[in-house]
Chains A and B, each alone.
Chain A
Amino acid sequence: MNTKKQKFPFGIPDHNLTEVEREIPVGEPDAWPVNDQLKHVGKPVKRYDAKAKVTGKAKYTADMRLPGMLYAKFLRSTVPAARIKSIDTSAAESYPGVYAVHVIENLATGAREKENESNRFPEIKFTGQPIAGLAAESLDIAEEAARLIKVEYEYQPFVIDVEEAMKPEAPLVFSAPVEQKADAGDVGVTHEGDRGQGNVRGPSTSSFFGGPRGDLEKGFAEADVIVEHTYRTQVHTHVPLETHGVVVDWKPDGMLVYTSTQNTKAVRDEMADYFDLPRSKVRVICEFMGGGFGAKHSAGNFGPMAAILSRKTGRPVWLMLDRKEEHISQGNRPNSIHYLKIGAKKNGKLTAIQQRSHGTAGVALGAGVGRVAQILYECPNFATEQYDVFTHAGPGAAWRAPGNVQGAYGVEQAIDELAEKINMDPLALRDIIDTSEVRKVERQRGAEKFGWSRRKPAGSDPGPVKKGLGVAQSTWPRFIEFDSTAEVRILRDGAVEIRSGVQDIGTGTKTVLAQVVAEELGIRPEEVTVRIGDTVFPNGPSSGGSKVTGSITPAARNAAYKAKMELFEQVAGKWETDPSLLKTQDGQIIHKEDPLKKMSFNDALKGMRTGAIYASASRSDDYGGFQQPWGLAYGDLGSVQFAEVTVDTETGFVKVDKIVAAHSCGRPINTAHVRSQINGGVIQGVAYALYEYRSMDKETGHMMNANLDQYKLPYAMEIPEIESIIVEDYAGRSSTDAYGIGEPANIATAVAVANAVYNAIGVRIYEIPITPDKVLNALNKI
């Protein structure tokens, strides 16, 4: 391949910024300077689709109304464990207004026993498991008719509590080895469905960063201090405001699927595979979606059900879940019972980390505590055993930084405790054990903005209401998805379009694409039309792993560059010069050596021989290679977050007053959107730390707070003051050198809050959410 040498900015501005030279393909654009010198990239450009959202014009899947559309509803199990002996749908089928009924014979999601089950119907393994679906004229009729379906259950024993489920005598969720199709959202979680005993499966002992290191026994022997505890985190659900669902219109010439998704191509592929259709016959559209947070990477059971009903009736079918169904069946973050033992020397250097975790993802696999213990800090001796425990509850799903939020809760509290044991400031300890340069800068800048020096010894605040300050860090890999393609079109009338199947889940992907294309073409972002979220366009990355920006923006820039060069070919011909001597600036094409040779962009396009220029580009290899060839880039999206809390020691109530979050995402493309993402991750972290949890009744196997009334989320008065610090971190790895922020924003918050609570009251809380009972218990007030 022909390459050219380019000098890229390298490092952190106002800290260690320098240059690095890379060999890059000749067909890719030249290196961008730092953001200061760019026109649109790195600026808080207004969100592309904000106007549609603020006027109520944005159409979400739930809003779709197609001619002839029917409404569908599931019938779900009201018991946690049963064999179905018979299902009688006759009353439902003949109910006025009902057009089709379908009984599920194969579940599309969750773990599945490898041996064939003899029973005709899937065995019920959790309350809320779908049994059948029907389509009717209205949702009311569908609900009424669903109640008329008669199911004969043969009840089976069940287990809800994780620790009960771990016992050898516990009722088994699966009596055979299981397999689970990997959910595209899962990253680094336990999937060892074959191994284990009873409901316990695993352990998983390695990640893509490798397996155990060194010798634990030797490491602990060398330690001067040891911190050893078990940390517990809760199961919580995603609660996207728009629930899961689809509108499917299956006509003879193809299937059209509107869906609220983070992954248009996975939905397309799943639906095509399920029904044995060529992928070209399935079109998936997601222009707006109301939140996913990891749970929406699949067509689930609702996609196939709606399609089957659409085929049976010949009409479009709307199937959106209600809030209760959303809570009990569409995913959750598994809990963790997380044993951690960390050894260190008096000077702070870590000598050994031992980790063992159990967690339940209900009837699925995917509980784990991530890679924080493995890679956040330097430590020669390390081992982890991460186990899944099946219980009769709704399947887990990837939840913003799966596993790593749970893991950070343990690790960052242990490190905080360690610092105190060796009489070292927690930030100073990290300076010793953390090799990340960007986190060092984040610590410095964050500490200053936050006023870390205000911190007093733990529990020293007088009076019943005590203030506390805490800090925690996170690490997150830079994932790249190669199947990320963008097509840029420059039309004769001057219109510029970018197209990709990638979806915007509220993160601002549309804006970022407009900015990148505008920067490359020398026009304004408002002049770019962004068409995404449709699988007729080239495949885009899925919105998971925080990899969209890093995967699609280089492709977008490269496609724009290609289109531009084609345009230059045309203009250069006219000026009898070389395309390499042309540049774009403020909507003009200018000759680099003769500034008087100018042509407006629009004029240049009018002279085109073809109606439009089309260029597409896929995500190419990182300059200088990858950390791992499947798409693990060098670098880290780590963060440092500081929390200020108030703890009322008489009532046990904790309030988060302020968070300072220092983050890096390589080259930030839209600083407003980055701050929005940080705010989102932080607020979810506060919710996880203090308020929300799934309440399962152990006697009956039901989720008792499957609504928004008793499922506690923060509202306006719980929102802390949040200050975000964006640290630019250049590495010259791609044509945009830009990365994501979604998951990093969510990892450190809860444990920063926990560390702050410790600083306030002088007693550590090893279990979240930190509800009043836990604080009062810790203070021996109950």
Chain B
Amino acid sequence: MKEKKQSEKLTVLPEESKSGKKGLSRRGFLKGAGVTTAGTVMLQTGLLGHARADVKEDTLLGPDAILVKLKVNGRSRTVQVEPRATLAQVLRDHLELTGTKIVCDRGSCSACTVWLDGKPVNSCMTLAMDVGDRDITTIEGISNQEGLHPVQQAFIDHDATQCGYCTPGMIMTSVHLLNENKNPTLEDVKVALRGNLCRCGTQPHIFKAVLDASKKM
């Protein structure tokens, strides 16, 4: 359904003084593998947090920021973050993907749901370092470029949003359900969504939307 960009779009990192980013430290990054010039970023796999086979034994990464390569919505992105950065923080603060929301920051409410290799996880309880080469899908990547996913359209048709803050997580979980189960019952829908919190009370319309979308997929 969505196209995977084949070309690697590498983010060349700016100078240390770019504000708003997490603490950068030239000394801290690129530990353990030879880097010649401080100002250039060389993306040898040996430097990247995720490529396990290539990283030398005894490589301790961090605690200051290091390069982490992530595959997000079909594109390869590189960020410079501390090991303590959660995937939710990285998506929101480093990749301008603010659709994923942080609500409880403890894995209780599933508002931060993204997919790793197609499986819903709480991005607030996933360290960015831990993602590795798994495909990350966020709400921004759930539809193709032009149109809306049938679930997104169904949410619009059935007035399944109110304040909208739970919506991205709800949609990520709902689309996953329909990918696994083409013909869910109401009970199946509730079971799939049992981890997603909504305080405004959109659930009844969400259930209707998901059941409706299942007929259109």
Q: Which of B85-114 contact A (CB under 8 A)?
A: 92-93, 96-106, 108-109, 111
Question: Does A683 count as interface, using CB distance less than 8 angstroms?
Answer: yes
Contact with A along B177-199 (1 / 0, CB 8 A): 00000000000011101111111
- Output the nearest chain A residue to B168 by Cβ-Cβ distance: A56
6 contacts between A and B (CB under 8 A): A56-B167, A58-B164, A137-B23, A240-B165, A241-B197, A241-B199
Among A54, A140, A290, A677, the residue within 8 A (CB) of B155 is A54
Question: Does B80 count as interface, using CB distance less than 8 angstroms?
Answer: no
**Could you tell me the distance between the alpha carbons of A419 and B165 in the complex, rounded to whole angstroms?**
43
Most chain A beta carbons < 10 A, residue from B21, B108, B166: B108
Question: Does B201 count as interface, using CB distance less than 8 angstroms?
Answer: yes
Chain B neighbourhood of A67, CB < 8 A: 19-20
- Output the nearest chain A residue to B202 by Cβ-Cβ distance: A676
CB–CB B203/A709 < 8 A: no
Question: Does B56 count as interface, using CB distance less than 8 angstroms?
Answer: no
**Could you tell me the distance between the alpha carbons of A322 and B100 in the complex, rounded to whole angstroms?**
16
CB–CB B161/A54 < 8 A: yes
Contact with B along A48-71 (1 / 0, CB 8 A): 011111111111101101011110
**Could you tell me the distance between the alpha carbons of A141 and B85 in the complex, rounded to whole angstroms?**
12
Among B140, B156, B197, B200, the residue within 8 A (CB) of A715 is B197
CB–CB A506/B164 < 8 A: yes
How many chain B residues touch the partner (CB < 8 A)?
Answer: 59
Q: Which of A669-709 contact B (CB under 8 A)?
A: 672-673, 675-677, 679-684, 707-709
CB–CB A673/B159 < 8 A: yes
CB–CB A241/B166 < 8 A: yes
Chain A neighbourhood of B99, CB < 8 A: 55-57
Most chain B beta carbons < 10 A, residue from A241, A672, A680: A241
CB–CB B156/A55 < 8 A: no
10 further A-B contacts with Cβ under 8 Å, apart from A62-B102, A140-B23, A239-B199, are A46-B156, A47-B159, A55-B99, A288-B163, A323-B103, A507-B162, A508-B162, A708-B104, A716-B190, A719-B207
**Could you tell me the distance between the alpha carbons of A753 and B173 in the complex, rounded to whole angstroms?**
30
Q: How many A-B residue pairs have CB under 8 A?
A: 188
**Could you tell me the distance between the alpha carbons of A679 and B205 in the complex, rounded to whole angstroms?**
9
CB–CB B197/A719 < 8 A: no
Question: Does B76 count as interface, using CB distance less than 8 angstroms?
Answer: no
**What's the least CB distance linking A153 to chain B, in Å?**
27
Contact with A along B19-50 (1 / 0, CB 8 A): 11111000000000000000000000000000
Q: Which of A287-334 contact B (CB under 8 A)?
A: 288-291, 293, 315, 322-323
Chain A neighbourhood of B84, CB < 8 A: 140
CB–CB B19/A684 < 8 A: no
**Could you tell me the distance between the alpha carbons of A681 and B200 in the complex, rounded to whole angstroms?**
8
Chain B neighbourhood of A505, CB < 8 A: 163
Most chain A beta carbons < 10 A, residue from B19, B100, B165: B165
**Could you tell me the distance between the alpha carbons of A506 and B161 in the complex, rounded to whole angstroms?**
8
Most chain B beta carbons < 10 A, residue from A52, A56, A288: A56
**Could you tell me the distance between the alpha carbons of A53 and B202 in the complex, rounded to whole angstroms?**
13
Chain B facing A: main interface SS = loop
**Could you tell me the distance between the alpha carbons of A645 and B61 in the complex, rounded to whole angstroms?**
55
CB–CB A68/B19 < 8 A: yes
CB–CB A675/B97 < 8 A: no
Chain A neighbourhood of B167, CB < 8 A: 53-54, 56
Question: Does B70 count as interface, using CB distance less than 8 angstroms?
Answer: no
Residues of chain B at the chain A interface (Cβ within 8 Å): 19-23, 82, 84, 92-93, 96-106, 108-109, 111, 138-140, 143, 148, 152, 155-157, 159, 161-168, 171, 189-191, 193-205, 207
Among A69, A290, A722, the residue within 8 A (CB) of B19 is A69
**What's the least CB distance linking B178 to chain A, in Å?**
15
- Output the nearest chain B residue to A57 by Cβ-Cβ distance: B99
CB–CB B20/A65 < 8 A: yes
Question: Does A713 count as interface, using CB distance less than 8 angstroms?
Answer: yes
Among B21, B22, B148, B163, the residue within 8 A (CB) of A291 is B163
CB–CB A288/B164 < 8 A: yes
Question: Does A180 count as interface, using CB distance less than 8 angstroms?
Answer: no
Question: Does A569 count as interface, using CB distance less than 8 angstroms?
Answer: no
Chain B neighbourhood of A62, CB < 8 A: 98, 101-102
Chain B neighbourhood of A767, CB < 8 A: none
Contacts A51-B148, A51-B156 given: A323-B106 contact, CB under 8 Å? yes
Chain B neighbourhood of A68, CB < 8 A: 19-20
Chain A neighbourhood of B140, CB < 8 A: 55-57
Question: Does A44 count as interface, using CB distance less than 8 angstroms?
Answer: yes
Chain A neighbourhood of B202, CB < 8 A: 676, 679-680
Chain B neighbourhood of A53, CB < 8 A: 155, 161, 164, 167
Among B104, B194, B199, the residue within 8 A (CB) of A323 is B104
Question: Does A717 count as interface, using CB distance less than 8 angstroms?
Answer: yes
**What's the least CB distance linking B194 to chain A, in Å?**
5
**Could you tell me the distance between the alpha carbons of A96 and B99 in the complex, rounded to whole angstroms?**
31
Among A97, A138, A242, A715, the residue within 8 A (CB) of B195 is A715
Chain A neighbourhood of B189, CB < 8 A: 716
- Output the nearest chain A residue to B161 by Cβ-Cβ distance: A53
CB–CB A717/B190 < 8 A: yes
Among B101, B157, B195, the residue within 8 A (CB) of A290 is B101
Chain A neighbourhood of B168, CB < 8 A: 56
Chain A facing B: main interface SS = loop
**Could you tell me the distance between the alpha carbons of A323 and B104 in the complex, rounded to whole angstroms?**
6
- Output the nearest chain A residue to B97 by Cβ-Cβ distance: A56
Q: Which of A489-536 contact B (CB under 8 A)?
A: 505-508
CB–CB B161/A50 < 8 A: yes
Chain A neighbourhood of B201, CB < 8 A: 676, 679-684
**What's the least CB distance linking B79 to chain A, in Å?**
13
CB–CB A138/B162 < 8 A: no
Chain A neighbourhood of B162, CB < 8 A: 506-508, 676-677, 680
CB–CB A54/B203 < 8 A: no
Among B104, B171, B193, the residue within 8 A (CB) of A716 is B193
Most chain B beta carbons < 10 A, residue from A49, A63, A673, A677: A63
CB–CB B159/A141 < 8 A: no
Chain A neighbourhood of B93, CB < 8 A: 65
**Could you tell me the distance between the alpha carbons of A288 and B200 in the complex, rounded to whole angstroms?**
14
Chain A neighbourhood of B166, CB < 8 A: 241
Contacts A55-B148, A506-B162, A675-B159 given: A240-B143 contact, CB under 8 Å? no
CB–CB B205/A69 < 8 A: no
Among A46, A52, A70, A677, the residue within 8 A (CB) of B157 is A46
Chain A neighbourhood of B200, CB < 8 A: 291, 506, 676, 680
Chain A neighbourhood of B163, CB < 8 A: 240-242, 288-291, 505-506
Contacts A54-B156, A240-B199, A679-B204 given: A716-B164 contact, CB under 8 Å? no
**What's the least CB distance linking A435 to chain B, in Å?**
31
Chain B neighbourhood of A682, CB < 8 A: 201
**Could you tell me the distance between the alpha carbons of A507 and B161 in the complex, rounded to whole angstroms?**
9
- Output the nearest chain B residue to A710 by Cβ-Cβ distance: B108
**Could you tell me the distance between the alpha carbons of A508 and B205 in the complex, rounded to whole angstroms?**
15
Chain B neighbourhood of A508, CB < 8 A: 162
Contacts A50-B159, A293-B199, A679-B204 given: A65-B96 contact, CB under 8 Å? yes
- Output the nearest chain B residue to A674 by Cβ-Cβ distance: B159
Chain B neighbourhood of A96, CB < 8 A: 23
Among B111, B138, B148, B193, the residue within 8 A (CB) of A54 is B148
Most chain A beta carbons < 10 A, residue from B105, B197, B198, B201: B201
